């Protein structure tokens, strides 16, 4: 059976302490700049804050993983190198990377620090994963959210590194690290700037008929009737019209949240080493509830007890949830 580490989000120092106290085996976080894929206002760490966070986590037996998982545009690579140097100096337990240039730099300059391959690298085959393991010494791959459990089980036999999968939280539809939708509408890039459907470009506009449009950079991503709850305008979760679907439909996916709690025992059995909870942008109380519930469930499963899955299912209370690609190929 795998170790089934719980990898928890930390958007702020307070969220990091909360996650550690609630039982995280590791937390992941980023600096306050484009070097990570959650470069949102008010989030993330200064080097000093990260230093304190690492001390706090290590004293309690938890690891700190630093996300350097965006793609530096040419001419700006130094920002990523400096972030890696700072992380190494501070003593983070691993870097989460996507860009080959960044991976190469860390492998050569800081070989003592573990490298994890970010989901942003979109490595979804044994060959792609082995490319990163062979060339950069990657010790763990965060799998794209597109494989079924049966496929993960097979993959496990063919790669020389650990597997981490997302189990809970926001569920992106596009292959991570290959999506420029936000840049197309807003001019800010997910890959280069760490930005996705940014709040600064969001507007909710009330129509004469009482409907509410949720807009991103002036584009109506969805429109809601007076009796509907308006959602955030994430491009891949909007409603659009096609010639044969003039009424508008969720062309990519409904606004659902990933929740694999029911599949947790199977994922552990399939050999997944670590489970990642999405949500660096979420509140402390959210982090506390989700981490504590998954901690209890993973401990139960590892001790051979029946896990109280109902608590985990209830976490997405009021929200639609999905098991995404993990349960069946029909998702595709």
- DSSP structure string for 256-290: -EEE-GGGHHHHHHTT--EEEE--TTS-HHHHHHH
Give the 3-state secondary structure of residue 206. strand
Nearer to other proteins, 17 or 223 (CB): 223
Q: Is 208 an interacting residue with respect to other proteins (CB under 8 A)?
A: no
Structure tokens at 218: 């002036």
Per CB under 8 A, does 94 bind other proteins? no
Q: How far is the CB of 104 from other proteins (least distance, A)?
A: 5
Q: Using N-to-C axis directions, what is the helix angle for 100-109 and 77-90, rounded to 10°?
A: 40
Contact between 206 and other proteins by CB under 8 A: the answer reads: no
Among 55, 73, 226, 254, binds other proteins (CB under 8 A): 73
* Of residues 31-60, those binding other proteins (CB under 8 A): none
Reading the block at residue 327, the tokens are 């349960």
Binding of other proteins by 189 (CB under 8 A): yes
Q: Measured between alpha carbons, how far is residue 165 from residues 111, 237, 266, 275 in Å? A: 24, 22, 13, 5
Cα→Cα distances 292→20, 259, 274, 297, Å: 10, 15, 16, 9
Choices 56-64, 214-222, 275-283, 300-308 (CB under 8 A): range interacting with other proteins: 214-222
Tell me the two tokens of residue 38: 């959650």
Of the candidate residues 2, 32, 213, 308, the single one contacting other proteins (CB under 8 A): 213
**Binding of other proteins at residue 146 (CB under 8 A)?**
yes
Q: Is 308 in the site for other proteins (CB under 8 A)?
A: no
Shorter beta-carbon distance to other proteins: residue 91 or 187: 187
Query: Residue 163 belongs to what H/E stretch?
Result: strand 162-170
User: Which residue among 206, 245, 305, 320 contacts other proteins (CB under 8 A)?
Assistant: 245
Separation of alpha carbons 161 and 178, rounded Å:
23
Listed ranges 43-51, 84-92, 245-253, 314-322: which one lies at the site for other proteins (CB under 8 A): 245-253
């Amino acid at each position: 059976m795998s170790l089934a580490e719980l990898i928890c989000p930390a958007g702020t120092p307070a969220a990091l302490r909360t996650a550690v106290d609630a039982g995280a085996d590791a937390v992941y976080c980023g600096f306050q700049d484009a070097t990570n894929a959650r470069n949102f206002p008010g989030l993330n760490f200064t080097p000093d804050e990260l230093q304190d966070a690492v001390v706090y986590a290590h004293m309690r037996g938890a690891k700190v993983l630093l996300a350097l998982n965006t793609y530096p545009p040419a001419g700006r690579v130094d920002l990523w190198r400096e972030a890696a140097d700072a992380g190494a100096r501070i003593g983070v337990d691993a870097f989460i990377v996507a860009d080959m240039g960044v991976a190469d730099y860390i492998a050569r300059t800081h070989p003592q620090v573990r490298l994890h391959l970010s989901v942003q690298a979109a490595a979804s085959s044994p060959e792609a994963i082995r490319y990163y393991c062979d060339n950069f010494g990657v010790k763990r791959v965060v799998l794209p959210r597109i494989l079924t459990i049966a496929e993960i089980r097979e993959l496990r036999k063919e790669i020389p590194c650990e597997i981490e999968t997302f189990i809970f939280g926001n569920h992106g539809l596009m292959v991570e690290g290959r999506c420029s939708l936000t840049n197309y509408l807003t001019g800010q890039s997910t890959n280069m700037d760490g930005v996705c459907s940014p709040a600064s470009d969001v507007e909710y506009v009330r129509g004469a008929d009482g409907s509410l449009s949720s807009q991103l950079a002036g584009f109506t991503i969805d429109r809601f009737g007076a009796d509907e709850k308006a959602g955030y305008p994430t491009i891949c979760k909007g409603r659009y019209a096609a010639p044969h679907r003039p009424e508008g439909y969720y062309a990519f996916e409904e606004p659902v949240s990933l929740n694999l709690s029911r599949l947790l025992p199977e994922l552990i059995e399939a050999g997944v080493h670590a489970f990642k909870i999405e949500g660096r942008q979420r509140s402390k109380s959210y982090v506390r509830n989700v981490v504590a519930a998954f901690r209890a469930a993973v401990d139960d499963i590892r001790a051979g007890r029946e896990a109280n899955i109902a608590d985990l299912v209830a976490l997405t209370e009021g929200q639609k949830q999905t098991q995404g690609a993990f349960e069946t190929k029909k998702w595709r």
